[in-house]
Structure 1
Amino acid sequence: MDSIELGLFASRLEAVCDEMGAMLQQAAFSPNIRDRLDYSCAVFDPGGELCAQAAHIPVHLGSMAYAMHDLVKCRAWREGDMLVVNDPYRGGTHLPDVTLVTPVFIRDSCVGFIANRAHHADIGADSPGSMPVGSTIEDEGLLIPPTLLVERGEVIRPVLDEIIAATHNPIVTEGDFSAQISANRTGVERVSALVSGSGVERWLSGLAEINRYGERMAREALSALPDGEYCFTDYMDDDGQGNRDIELRVRLTIHGDRIDVDFSGSAGQVEGNINCPLSVAAAAVFYVFRCLMDERTPACAGSFRSIHIHAPPGCLLNACAPAAVAAGNVETSSRVVDLVLGALAQVIPERVAAASQGTMNNLAMGSRLGSGWDYYETIGGGMGAGADGGGLNGVQTHMTNTLNTPIEVLESAYPLRIRRYALRNGSGGAGRVRGGDGLVREYEFLASAEVTLLTERRVHAPWGLAGGQPGAAGKNLLNGRPLEPKITCTVKAGDRLEIQSPGGGGYGEN
């Protein structure tokens, strides 16, 4: 293909992912998928190499890109099959993120795979929202190994029924799974049409060329970085089980167009749930370097071939089963971004930003009384400032790309009232360019509930860069009293929970 043909081919692949996402969103039952857009869609080649993705959630897509190769080799595929998996140690992220994988067949030949991953606010944990402050993977809900969910186009009811039975709102669960199945079927139809229009050989050569092109673009961008070895250290606030100031280290070695990212020296896996599967740590690394590449670089496996990652087995960033990982996907991944950016700031400070809020401010809540309810959301904060401009206020940053839940949706679906939702003025770090401000979101409970908070940057504030000041650390308050960064508590009607998210770090001296 010439450059124009390749550009059109890549755009058509991305359009497949976009249409899959639209189908998933419109068909989903839960606000978490329908309104917050906590899902991702992608297309892979027959070997499981990433070829295209929508602009969805980096931690989903990067981890799928890292692990799909092994996943597609785990069985003999047939037309109409669909695999379900959420095992964090088999390429997943954490248990609420459930992935469906479907092969695309043309005349008995597999020509690629379709996948989508969506966050289920209830995946069977005892704690509402399925994001508990636990100490083993068993605390976090139903673990689904790679399992056939649809066989030759027919849903295997015993498998789906077993998953639904583990949850607490079967109507919502089945609705969301039906939406995921429909999204993959849409992807299969669209890819089949593309292959029929071009022919199998041209289709496969196009997929290979996208990855070769992505690799060339990536190597060109990375070779522009000065050679050398750059180290950085940052800390997690705590693990929810009494361990605090947990050290993470990176040694970044740049040699030509090769990048070695070594996390040796980082803390070992801990009792709490901030442990991180290697696929999640890889997603954070890929994200950082993708931000340094030309925007025309396709988001494909080839773009990451020159990036090599090492984390010793059993460390916090390459945790081993049965370690708890619920917050590793959301909180530790955010810190990995800060860690790699901190190392790069030593060599290209003008091209990276100060630390952003460094947390997703995870809030899970609900009740097991009566018909019960489960809810989960993340909350935006301040973006770090850079040489080219100030950080944005009140946005999701880095490893997440979800929306906030509209107040009208939240109040109509759950026994909650939002008392305040505003910018946290002055929380961005001072500097020649100010960091972005965080948010204040205050909830009033209209009925008793159980609440879980998994938050970071409450102790170690987001750092500034080039003389800029750190952003303000976050705060969690219940009826005005401070809460621990990671905690489960019971609230009653009339109680008020206030989340003050961190501000981004400032850039440059005043």
Structure 2
Amino acid sequence: MVAGLPAVGEILEFTTGEEAPVLAARILTRTRLEDEFPTMDFRVATTRGTNALLEGKGTEPVLFITQGFRDLPEIRDQRRPELFARVIEKLPAITRKIVEVSGRQAVDGRELVRLDEEGLRAGARNWVAQGEKVAVVALLHSDRFPAIESRVKEILLEEGFQEVTTSTQLGARLGFLPRMETALANGYLGPVMNEFKRRVASAGEVSFLTSAGGLQVREGYEPVDSLLSGPAGGLVGALEVARGAGFEKILTFDMGGTSTDVARLEGAIPLRYEQAIGPVRVRRPGVKMETVAAGGGSICRWHQGGLEVGPHSAGADPGPACYGRGGPLTVTDVNFLLGFLDETQVEIPLSREDAWQRFVELKETMRRDGAEVPEDEELLAGLRAIAVERMAEAVRSISVGEGFEPAEYTLVAFGGAGPQHACELADSLGVKRVLVPGDAGLLSAWGLHRSRREGVEERQVLQPLEKLTPSWASLLQELKEQALSQVPGSEMERWLIEVRVAGQASTIELEFEGKLFPSLAQLAERFSERYWQLFGYARSQEHPLEVVMVRAVASEVRPDVVRESFANPEAVSGLLNSSYCTILVGEGWQVRRGKRGSLLLEKTQSGRIRQQSGAVGEELMRARFESIAESMGELLRRTALSTNVKERLDFSCALLDGEGRLLVNAPHIPVHLGALGVCVRKVSQDRVWKKGDVVVVNHPAYGGSHLPDVTVVSPIFGASEKVVAFVANRAHHSEIGGRTPGSMPGDARNLEEEGVVIAPRLLFDGGEEGFDEVEYLLRNAPYPSRAVAENLADLRAQAAANFAGEKAMAGLFAEFGEETVSAGMESLRLRAAQLMSIRLQEEGSWSAEDALDDGTPVQVRLTAREGHLHIDFAGTGSRHAGNLNATEGVIRSAVLYVLRLWLNEDLPLNEGLMEHVTVAAEGTFLQPDFPEDVASCPAVVGGNVETSQRIVEVLLRALGVGAESQGTMNNFLFGNERFGYYETIGGGSGATDCSDGASGVHVHMTNTAITDPEVFEYRFPVRLHQFSLRKESGGEGRFRGGNGLVREVEFLEDMTVTLLTQRREEAPRGLANGGDGLGGKQELFRAGSWQILPGIVSLEVAASERIRVQTPGGGGWG
């Protein structure tokens, strides 16, 4: 060995001070440091921006935003992230450096307030003097009138900012919040990504892969365009490999260490135009895929009476147990112990002993909990099956959920662990072919190589089809020319046109070949076809179609397909190794080897179906049940017509057992969910269900809450022709009659005055429609609906959601059998009951009292004794003279919600929690009588939205869970004979013994999104002057209560306004000596001055008058 030289096998590390792609190019081209690079096709994909965003390593920009909206980055849409979290942990705002811009334009572009350029310059200089260099500009209605944003950008650059992003430069589309968040993300990543681009460009002309899977030159490559470039490369690679093998329709399956990405492709990369990435929503084109928290590092454990795989991950450090660094049992360990992992293919030594020890600990935990422990191989296979099922549900959401059958597709498996689980996943989905690319571990690099330079030009249209006839061809021609000009020598590849039913928010994207202009007639025809495919029924011709967005996509000529040919099949079973991954060939599969290294696995016979039972079977069933409820909710959201359902998300879906007991729910609105079981049981009394029946009801005597909440119930029959389950959903109809628009009259004194009362009636009778009877009722009730067409459209959407749930459950029964599925339902209910029984081993008695703003008392005593909990509301006021009466469904919802919070465990809202609980509230205004005559029934509209919150607050106070939150939904309604609008406004949450309360969020029994400011003004004759936090409204203490909100609305037409609120007189109380939060208040601006309004009021307002609502803050702790 020569002194000073490295020994054989020693690792050398050297650097040139260049970015990794540049250094790699230097090595590959053998270019010395002092020499220029040769001319080359230099392509880069990077995770630099993604990592900076997720790790919080960007630059906090200064936001210049329309006056009155400085807190929007923190408030967002006011929803809390986790429905049942005791401590609300909101996503962090990307910036707190904010300047309000005094310059405002109307929805039609008229100048309302002239831009204060001197004030703007002063604010800019102040931040520049503090060293700030990055700014973001977001101003209302710039989607169609961007000139004011451009002028602000000019001024900021003149005053010394170096990087300025405007919201419209990234996409001129209606929606202030997502446009602002996208711009903030771009500004946040700007310094990191722009420096990276500059340094990479030192190697010469460079192209960057975007999140949409196309190549973009440096000048047109925005920082946010990098965020999904890794997955995009994988999809391009998968598409190209599949085309070479002769497959156009593919499902991609990319399984890594912490998560799995799946997508559905048919000859092109599918796109989505808004995605949640880390702390922000980004509205830029990106690959359309679903991600599930199931990967090789997913932790396997026994938790609160059940097996759990994911969503928690061991990460890279400590990693799986077999890495020997003290990690937990993971899916990787399970595969290792099953013999599905070849140790010779892993770069680090693996410890079977450590993996086995963690597995033994899992079994011991199960035994201590009294659970039956299966044989070792069965339990290991079961854990693997649970992981596969989580991934299968993600695939079903992008295939079955969108009207496509997985069996018609080829599964393309890649990523570190994808090929290891592909056959089992395919078996679960009914897929007959699996393609494993020869370079499955390097597919993103292959995708980068095969990507093409793209030019995309888009235009927001927002016009009905019939109005576009004169200008349609010229619009397409203009977009085509602009797209082609972006990439010399390119050709038009495709048109992507978003169309929707007028009045809806959700669109359907239609794709057309780029060579020809699609006609408006083709748009209408294709839309109807796709609508039927998605939703299972024909769209109503009553509502016209509207073109929302047109995109022209031009690209380089597609390179020749690299063909793959396959040899004759081989009968192989077990592990196969390739250069970059391990493939597990399942039973009943054969393998064909491709000349370029790919493997084609084909199903030849049905493998042995492993019937899972016990803890494994229970978890598999739970996953499927939850997926069905969530899919129902997504379908309802997409197909509903009303703003209330499609944007505020004021609806809930659930699956119930054959006895009508709530089993699982999608994470929707708590005040709906607990009541659905009561409703289904009441509706089922004395009813002989038939296949194809769908019942609609909103009557409080039948488990309804208040009249706007309309419930649709469908039975599910088993092979024995007996009802074995139910699906149900409840949606808030913002107009269903009553004395005032919005159907929440503040002065109603009986049920009839609140709107159309629907006792249980068949919407479908054995599959035959019965909408005519419902329509007659809506039009001819004593106080009829003002929006019958919208009611009927939303009812169709609700029925479609139930049909989808029925179909999914039928598939479940066919796959597993009625006995297995029913046993899964029962075990899920019993598991919840067992958890509550354990909690009730702590005996005691707790009490609390409160009062409504009018002094009506609310008192409760909870007594836990001998494994039973009795909740007694004795001392609570009797029937309320106004509309604050609750119902049996409402009180059950409130109790269920509180029990779920008290348990503080991750399980569905399930009526098993009520197995050992009784509630006494008869004779109080919480559960009054409902006689047959609706004019004699108590008014209830406020009971659902206001009294429900007070029930929760008094129960939580008794249990000492936390200080009181805002305790109201701040219901705000306005409208006239043409329309009705309804929203609920968030406030402050109460502090707990370990955390401050959250500000500007919905609490407890609701979690609806608030309408985007631009959409709000675009759809309704109003102007939003302020939507901000109410400073210092949270109670003081060791932990402070959260702040409320301020919302100020000007009316542009005469209309009726209703406010239905509480906590105006009785402020939210602190706990453990914490201070009270400020009570709410509302004011009317009339004749030049502000007048305070009562908490519950209906009034007529004239054009130019305003309402300002200030919501309560939460109580403090300690």
TM range (shorter): over 0.9
| 1:105 has 2:717 as partner | yes
Indicate the residue corresponding to 1:240 in structure 2. none
Residue identity matched to 1:119: H
SS at match of 1:196: helix
Give the alignment of 1:206-245 within 5 angstroms.
206-223=824-841, 225=842, 227-237=843-853, 244-245=854-855
Indicate the residue corresponding to 1:120 in structure 2. 733
Q: Is contact 2:1026-2:1049 (8 Å) kept?
A: yes
**Which stretch of structure 1 is more off in the superposition, 103-112 or 133-142?**
103-112
d(CA) in 2 for partners of 1:467 and 1:458? 21
| 1:89 has 2:707 as partner | no
d(CA) in 2 for partners of 1:175 and 1:338? 36
Q: Is contact 2:859-2:873 (8 Å) kept?
A: yes
Q: Is contact 1:217-1:297 (8 Å) kept?
A: no
Q: Is contact 2:896-2:911 (8 Å) kept?
A: no
| 1:417 has 2:417 as partner | no
d(CA) in 2 for partners of 1:35 and 1:179? 14
Indicate the residue corresponding to 1:279 in structure 2. 889
d(CA) in 1 for partners of 2:1052 and 2:677? 42
d(CA) in 2 for partners of 1:294 and 1:425? 30
Indicate the residue corresponding to 2:743 in structure 1. 130
Indicate the residue corresponding to 1:433 in structure 2. 1039
Q: Which one of 297, 308, 324 corresponds to residue 918 of structure 2?
A: 308
| 1:487 has 2:1097 as partner | yes
Indicate the residue corresponding to 1:19 in structure 2. 631
Residue by residue over 1:75-103, the C-alpha shift from the partner in whole angstroms, topping out at 9 and shown as x without a partner, is 10000000010011210100000000001
Q: Is contact 1:253-1:261 (8 Å) kept?
A: yes
SS at match of 2:856: strand
Residue identity matched to 2:1100: T
SS at match of 2:855: strand
d(CA) in 1 for partners of 2:794 and 2:776? 15
Offset at residue 47 of structure 1 (A): 1.2
Offset at residue 221 of structure 1 (A): 2.4
Gaps (5+ residues) in structure 1?
A: 238-243, 346-351
Indicate the residue corresponding to 2:952 in structure 1. 337
Offset at residue 273 of structure 1 (A): 0.2
**Cα separation, partners in 2 of 1:74 and 1:391, compared to 1, 3 Å:** farther
Offset at residue 158 of structure 1 (A): 2.5
Q: Is contact 2:736-2:787 (8 Å) kept?
A: no
Q: Which one of 159, 166, 169 corresponds to residue 773 of structure 2?
A: 159
Q: Is contact 2:617-2:824 (8 Å) kept?
A: no
d(CA) in 1 for partners of 2:767 and 2:731? 21
Residue by residue over 1:304-361, the C-alpha shift from the partner in whole angstroms, topping out at 9 and shown as x without a partner, is 2111100132x1111122110000011001000111112112xxxxxx1100000000
SS at match of 2:852: strand
Indicate the residue corresponding to 1:448 in structure 2. 1054
d(CA) in 2 for partners of 1:67 and 1:80? 19
**Which stretch of structure 1 is more off in the superposition, 170-179 or 356-365?**
170-179
SS at match of 1:334: helix
Residue by residue over 1:34-83, the C-alpha shift from the partner in whole angstroms, topping out at 9 and shown as x without a partner, is 10000000011111111111111111011123443232233100000000
d(CA) in 2 for partners of 1:30 and 1:67? 23
d(CA) in 2 for partners of 1:105 and 1:497? 51
Indicate the residue corresponding to 2:762 in structure 1. 148
**Which stretch of structure 1 is more off in the superposition, 376-385 or 300-309?**
300-309
d(CA) in 2 for partners of 1:367 and 1:208? 49
Indicate the residue corresponding to 1:295 in structure 2. 905
d(CA) in 2 for partners of 1:433 and 1:104? 49
d(CA) in 1 for partners of 2:979 and 2:1111? 25
SS at match of 1:183: helix
Residue by residue over 1:361-419, the C-alpha shift from the partner in whole angstroms, topping out at 9 and shown as x without a partner, is 00111002xxx111111000000000121111100000112111211222111111110
Structure number with greater CO (CA < 8 Å, separation at least 6) is 1
Offset at residue 294 of structure 1 (A): 4.4
| 1:74 has 2:686 as partner | yes
Q: Is contact 2:897-2:909 (8 Å) kept?
A: no
Offset at residue 4 of structure 1 (A): 2.5
Q: Is contact 1:66-1:283 (8 Å) kept?
A: no
Residue identity matched to 1:188: E
| 1:63 has 2:675 as partner | yes
Offset at residue 164 of structure 1 (A): 4.0
Indicate the residue corresponding to 1:348 in structure 2. none
Residue identity matched to 2:715: P
Structure 2 length as normaliser, TM-score?
0.43
SS at match of 1:245: coil
Structure 1 length as normaliser, TM-score?
0.94
d(CA) in 2 for partners of 1:4 and 1:31? 41
Residue identity matched to 1:301: E
Indicate the residue corresponding to 1:199 in structure 2. 817
Q: Is contact 1:421-1:442 (8 Å) kept?
A: yes
Residue identity matched to 2:1020: Y
State how many pairs are aligned.
Answer: 490
Q: Is contact 2:986-2:1001 (8 Å) kept?
A: yes
d(CA) in 2 for partners of 1:161 and 1:399? 30
Offset at residue 169 of structure 1 (A): 2.0
Q: Which one of 377, 394, 398 corresponds to residue 1000 of structure 2?
A: 394
| Higher Cα Rg, which structure | 2
Residue identity matched to 2:681: H
Q: Is contact 2:695-2:764 (8 Å) kept?
A: yes
Gaps (5+ residues) in structure 2?
A: 1-612, 931-936
SS at match of 1:22: helix
Residue by residue over 1:418-468, the C-alpha shift from the partner in whole angstroms, topping out at 9 and shown as x without a partner, is 100001011000000000000001101010110011000000000000010
d(CA) in 2 for partners of 1:421 and 1:136? 34
Indicate the residue corresponding to 2:1077 in structure 1. 471
SS at match of 1:192: helix
SS at match of 2:664: strand
d(CA) in 1 for partners of 2:880 and 2:628? 40
| 1:33 has 2:648 as partner | no
Identity of aligned residues (%): 40
Residue identity matched to 1:344: L
d(CA) in 1 for partners of 2:850 and 2:869? 20
d(CA) in 2 for partners of 1:84 and 1:101? 7
Q: Is contact 2:713-2:727 (8 Å) kept?
A: yes
d(CA) in 2 for partners of 1:153 and 1:490? 44
Indicate the residue corresponding to 1:324 in structure 2. 939
Q: Is contact 1:217-1:294 (8 Å) kept?
A: no
Q: Is contact 1:416-1:445 (8 Å) kept?
A: yes
Q: Which one of 48, 65, 84 corresponds to residue 660 of structure 2?
A: 48
Residue identity matched to 2:1054: S
Indicate the residue corresponding to 2:314 in structure 1. none
Offset at residue 470 of structure 1 (A): 0.5
Q: Is contact 2:896-2:909 (8 Å) kept?
A: no
Indicate the residue corresponding to 1:268 in structure 2. 878
d(CA) in 2 for partners of 1:383 and 1:202? 42
SS at match of 2:1023: strand
Offset at residue 257 of structure 1 (A): 2.7
Residue identity matched to 1:460: E
**Which stretch of structure 1 is more off in the superposition, 279-288 or 467-476?**
279-288
d(CA) in 1 for partners of 2:867 and 2:990? 27
Residue by residue over 1:213-247, the C-alpha shift from the partner in whole angstroms, topping out at 9 and shown as x without a partner, is 11111211232x4x22222110100xxxxxx2111
Indicate the residue corresponding to 2:420 in structure 1. none
Q: Is contact 1:47-1:72 (8 Å) kept?
A: no
Residue identity matched to 2:850: D
| 1:379 has 2:985 as partner | yes
d(CA) in 1 for partners of 2:1062 and 2:909? 29
Give the alignment of 1:342-381 within 5 angstroms.
342-345=957-960, 352-368=961-977, 372-381=978-987
Residue identity matched to 2:976: S
SS at match of 1:220: helix
